[in-house]
Every structure is written in structure tokens, then in C-alpha cells.
Amino acid sequence: MVVPRRKKYRPWDPEAYSQQTFSPTERLPEDDLVFFLLDVVPQLDLDAFYASYEVETRGQPPFDPTLLVCLLLYSYCIGIYSSRKIAKACERNLAFLAIVGDDRPDFRTISDFRKGHLQQLAALFVQVLELAAEAGMVGLGNIAFDGSKFTGQASRHKAMSYGYMIKEEERLKAEIKALLEQADKTDTEEDAVHGSRRGDELPEELKRREDRLAVIAAAKKRLEDQAQAAAEEERQRQAEKEAERQRTGTKRRGKEAKPPSDVPEDKAQCSFSDPEMKMMPQSNKGWDYATNAQMGVDGEFQIIVACYVTDASNDKEQGIPLAEATMENFRQAEVELPKEENGEAKKIPATLDSGYFSEKAVPGMEKEGFDPYLATGRQKHNQGKVAATTTETLPEKATAKEKMQAKVSTPEGQKLYARRKTIVEPVFGQIKGARGFRRFSFRGLLKVGAEWCLICLTHNLLKIWRHGRALKAS
């Protein structure tokens, strides 16, 4: 019987392999992201991170802040946001070992550094934007603005509706009153029990009720402020609509709209775990506590030029703040703005979807130096391209909406606006899909906004790194 020849395999000896020493520089590609960050991060101005350590000379020497900044930036770039997962990666991942070496920080050190320096990490956004501009990656030919909802650390199970708050407030006040009356009645009898104490200390049970009453009162005040702001916005919208109806001479259809109420609805909710989060509609997922993350993206290389978060559930009032934030970042990063042939400042084209349109948004953005192109209504998917028009055919008393609709319908407007969804929407997809960031790790708008800046600046770092690799390959 002929024995078939056995297939030859590469040698495998796990025991010998486990004794070998691995160097990240020998095992990782020379153009790996981690080496790019190791070169870039020390060039950034990190004095603000070192300042907090200079006032404390006691204890063991801390980890170098540059090391921890580089570690966090690399982690956020590759989609690892948990301090425990980062610490674990420092023990078994070559790229992380290239940053930390043999002295590896534990998860508490990483977590405390991120919490204590969150605002300083967010401030690096401008420095990274400056790097992108120096690399020629900010073209200013079309800046697209958009927003997306991201959930936070607010629990729906630790929330209360406005109607229930009123009932709970009345119940707690009644219980507190009963406890105080009982305390007054038995005060003399308890003197012997209290001994050397005064005898008038606040009972723990009463203290808990008063604390809860204060929390409910603060939540009620927040809901009432939100209701008043929403009512004022609705009154303004109705006034604009009525003015438009009077101008065009059209008759009112249906009943006259009821005046908005300044009092919250009974079903309006507030979360006690993060009161600054608001219930917002989610894409195909109903409602949840979230923030509205805004960004402006340059069309040349999808570099994010502005970012912040807001508790407004829609984008109607965000056009002007986005324009202001973008120009402020350009000023700080010393980005050279385009100019006309006569030397005057040239308006920067900006494209926004219909959710941003309002009569005051257009002149407000123009004042900041933008040439805005805003959709005035949602276009159906099965609807063909709008016929090209010119602003010359507009009536003398055309409204701001009609003027903008005609502007977007021009050949230049259609060309610019068609690129909007290919500029900004893929960036949200890269952040949510590729990097897996869908929920903020912190509570409170200030901290959430800082983490959003951290997400956006690491997006820009990835773009700069990939651009550099492409140039070397070409």
C-alpha cells in the first residue's frame, strides 16, 4: 500500500514564540497610525496639560501628559472609548505598547486624566485644524453643515413627567409638614434620649424628602424654561406665517391656531441622571435622551472645521452659531480666507439642508462671511431635478424663502447643493459606523461638547494621516 505524501506546513512552536521579544517598530508598518501620532502629538502645544501637575510636588512622579494625550487620541481614532479597554490594550496590543512602553497606566489613571483634562483635549481641535490647513486640506470651496443625534448617559428609567412631578411635590410637602409637626410635638420627650446633642437636628427621613423635593423643583424649573422657550419660538413662527399670509392675500385654511402655552405638558419628561439631556426623535428608533451634535465639514478632504452640541432637537436655529463657530476656528487656526481679485473678502459657499432654513439664518450667515445655499423644503426621492431658474424672474416683493429657492435652483446652486450630502453625511457615517461612536461617555452639555470635539479632532487626524500616506504612495 502506498502511503500518500503528507502536506508540508510551516513550523509552529507556541512555546518558543512566547519567549520572543517583540518590538513595535519591527512588527508594525512604518507608516502606521501610531507612529504618525507619536510624531505629531509632541509638536502640539500641551502646556495646559502640564500646568495642573506643576502645583503638586508630592507623591510618585505621574505619567507624562504627552504619553496620555497620545494614548487617548490613538484610542479615539480606532474606536476604543472605554478606559478599561484602553488599559487592556496597553498590555497586549503592539500599537499601544509603542506608546506606553513597559510602564503601562491602569484604567483609573486613564479615566482620571480624561475627566480632568477633557476641556484641554477639546482645545486641541484648533491645533489639528491648523495642521490640516498647512497640509492644504482646507479648500473653502463648499462647507456643508449638518447635525445628528447622539444618546448620552441619561436614563429613561430615572425620569419623571411634569404631571407626576406636581403630584410628587405635593405629596412630599405634605409628608415634610407632618414630620415637622411630629418633631415639634415630641421634642420635649426626646431631650433625655438626645443627651448632649441639641435635640433639634434634622431627622434623616426629613432630610431625604427635602433633598428629593429640591431635585424635583429644579427639574420642574428646567421643563418650565424649555416650555417658555418653545412657546416663544412657536409664537414667532406663527407671526411669520401670518405676515406671509397677509402679504400674499391668501385665506386662512382651517381653524386659527391656538396660542402656544408657556406651561409644560403633563407628559413632558426630565431625566434626573442628566437633566441637560432632552428627549429627541431617533432615526427609526422612537425617542430617547440625546443631544444634537453639529458640525461643519470642508468639501476638499472632509475636514471638520466646526463642531459643538446643543440641546435643541431641531436645526432651525443652528445656522448662525455654526457660521460663527467656523469663522472663530479659522481665526484661531490662522486659516487663510479666500479673497476677490480686488482684495476684498470672498464669501465662502455653505450648503445646508431644509432643517436649517429660517428668514434670519440667511442674512446672519452672510454677515459672518458665507454665501449660504439652504434647501427650503424636503425633496422627494422620486422627484426629478428642479428646473434651473434665475433670480431675475422673482417678483419685487419676493420673500426670503422664494429668493433662496430661486438661488438654489440656479445651475451653480444645484451643483453646490448636490455635493452637500456627499461631504457631511459620510463623516457622520464614518464616526458612527466605522469608529462605532454612538453614545457620549459623560453627562452635562459642557463635558459632552468637549468629547464631541475630541471625536471630531481625531477624525481630522485620521484624514491627515491617510492623506500623507496617499502622497507617499503616489
The string of DSSP codes covering 440-452 is: -SS-SHHHHHHHH
Question: What does the pLDDT read at residue 280?
Answer: 80
> Which of 179-183, 343-347, 355-359, 447-451 bottoms out in mean pLDDT, i.e. has the lowest?
179-183
Q: What mean pLDDT is predicted for residues 434-445?
A: 91
Residue 332: the pLDDT is 96
pLDDT-based confidence at 296, cuts 50/70/90?
very high
Question: 138 pLDDT exceeds 80?
Answer: yes
Give kind and range of the element (H or E) at residue 215: helix 204-248
Cell (9 digits) for 145: 453643515
Phi and psi at 149, nearest 5°, equal -90, 135
Q: Is the distance from CB of 244 to CB of 399 less than 8 angstroms?
A: yes
Judge whether 395 and 340 are in contact, CB under 8 Å.
no
Q: What percent of the chain stands above pLDDT 70? A: 78
**Per-residue pLDDT, 251:** 73
Q: How large a percentage of the chain has pLDDT more than 90? A: 49
Q: Is the pLDDT of residue 108 over 70?
A: yes
Between 278 and 147, whose confidence is greater?
147
* CA-CA-CA-CA dihedral for 379, 381, 382, 387, to nearest 10: 40
Rounded mean pLDDT, 313-329: 94
> For residue 286, is pLDDT > 80?
no
- How confident is the model at residue 383, as a pLDDT? 46
Q: For residues 180 and 294, which has the higher predicted lDDT (pLDDT)?
A: 294
Higher pLDDT, 325 or 269: 325
Whether 338 shows a pLDDT value over 70: the answer reads yes
With vertex at residue 323, the alpha carbon angle to CA 320 and CA 324, rounded to the nearest 5 degrees, is: 85
Provide the pLDDT for residue 384.
44
Q: Any idea of the CA torsion for 203, 205, 206, 210, to the nearest 10 degrees? A: 130
pTM: 0.81
- The answer on pLDDT for 246 being more than 80 is no
For residue 414, what pLDDT is reported? 93
356/108 Cα distance (integer angstroms): 42
pLDDT at 391: 56
3-state secondary structure of 371: strand
Averaged pLDDT score across all residues of the chain: 83
Residues 6+ apart with CB under 8 A from 25: 35, 98
Helical (H) or strand (E) element with 99: helix 94-100
